[in-house]
Amino acid sequence: GESVGLHLPTLSVQEGDNSIINCAYSNSASDYFIWYKQESGKGPQFIIDIRSNMDKRQGQRVTVLLNKTVKHLSLQIAATQPGDSAVYFCAENGGRVIFGKGTRLHILP
C-alpha cells in the first residue's frame, strides 16, 4: 500500500502570520487534489480542493495553489489562528487516491 512511514515534518508559525504548507505529488495523471486537516484525536476533515484545470482556488482564509509543471501543491492559511493547529494532508486522485505524508502546523503564541 501507499506507506507513509516517516515521522511528520513540523511547521511552526507565529499566530497572525500566514502559513504555507507544501506538497509534492507523484502522478502526473492526477486531476483532482484535496487538502485535509486532522486535529488531535479526530479523523481528517476536508478543507479545500482543486481540479487540474485550475491553478488557484480560494476559500475562507485558505488558498490552494497547483503547479502541474513541477507537480506541486500548496496550502496557504491567512492570519493563522490557534485553532489551525493540526496535521495537514494533501491528497491526489488519478484513479486511486494517494495521501501525502502530512505536515504538522504548530502555532506560536
Partner 1 sequence: GAGVSQSPSNKVTEKGKDVELRCDPISGHTALYWYRQSLGQGLEFLIYFQGNSAPDKSGLPSDRFSAERTGGSVSTLTIQRTQQEDSAVYLCASSLNTGGETQYFGPGTRLLVL
Q: Interface residues for partner 1 in 61-100 (CB under 8 A)?
A: 89, 91, 93, 95-100
Is 46 or 106 the residue whose CB approaches partner 1 more closely?
46
Burial code of 70-109, b = ≥16 C-beta within 10 A, e = fewer? eeebebebeebeeebbbbbbbbbbbeeebebbbbbbebee
Cβ distance 101 to 6 under 8 Å? yes
Q: Which residue of 24, 51, 56, 81 would you call a contact of partner 1, by CB under 8 A?
A: 51
Q: Which residue of 29, 43, 69, 82 would you call a contact of partner 1, by CB under 8 A?
A: 43
Cβ distance 60 to 52 under 8 Å? no
C-alpha 99/C-alpha 109 separation (Å) is 30
Is 16 or 59 the residue whose CB approaches partner 1 more closely?
59
Interface with partner 1: number of residues (CB under 8 A): 31
Binding site residues, partner 1, CB under 8 A: 1-8, 31-32, 34, 36, 41-46, 49, 51, 89, 91, 93, 95-102
